[in-house]
Amino acid sequence: MVRGATGANGREPIMHQQLSDLVIARLRESITSGAYRPGDRLVEGRIAQELDVSRVPVREALRALAVEGLVEVRPRHGAVVASFDPASARELVQIRATLEGLNARLAAEHCTPELVKRIEKVLQAGNAKVVAGETSGLLELNAQFHDLLYAAGANAMLAELMRSMRDRSRMLFVNASDEEVRVTWEEHAAILRAVQSGDAAFAALLAERHVTRAAQYYLDNIAR
């Protein structure tokens, strides 16, 4: 099937949509991992060549990531990795930390044994990668951990709001070193222990601190 073509019903072919989603995921990971830094140009042709795809899915990916707030499309300049001014970055961190704290508090009150087991499996997978020094897949596992914690909070409206905030603030949470990654997963485990014990206040405190610390590298080194 020709890339970029549309089917008889006017919808995008499944193969094209899957390719577009894959390109979005690859670019998102490159930005949130720090491979691309704020202000870096994102040249369609170069990215298409690197990923061995046509320019169409790359162009669509850049548009999608612009909606998420990871990319800015500037007139006569093209697409670049988005950046936050210091005040906006700190405001985002404050809001997300507060929301994550509230969710952790609710999770401590409502989390089920089944969800605890699912979160534990994600923690085990993440820790195994950290010990092995593997970074591939860690971002996805991190997202799974937080999504399951949102489910444990049992507040659909709060979960939707936090996912929106996570999309807007992805690049603020760049792990700068192997040590940062290790600490991140230790903090995940500590949050889960607090949730399991039903200590709502402590779970909230740990979740807020986790968000603030995870963004500290960006705040100290980029958002100046």
pLDDT of residue 13: 43
If one compares 199 and 67, the residue with the highest pLDDT of the two is: 199
Domains with residue ranges and CATH for the chain = 14-81 (1.10.10.10), 86-223 (1.20.120.530)
- The per-residue pLDDT for range 96-143, each reduced to its tens digit, is 999 999 999 999 999 999 999 999 999 999 999 999 988 888 888 999
**pLDDT above 60 (res 11):** no
Provide the pLDDT confidence category of residue 10 given band limits of 50, 70 and 90.
very low
- The per-residue pLDDT for range 168-190, each reduced to its tens digit, is 787 788 766 788 889 999 999 99
Distances 46 to 3, 7, 64, 80, 126 between C-alpha atoms, Å: 18, 28, 18, 13, 32
**pLDDT above 80 (res 60):** yes
* pTM, to two decimals: 0.76
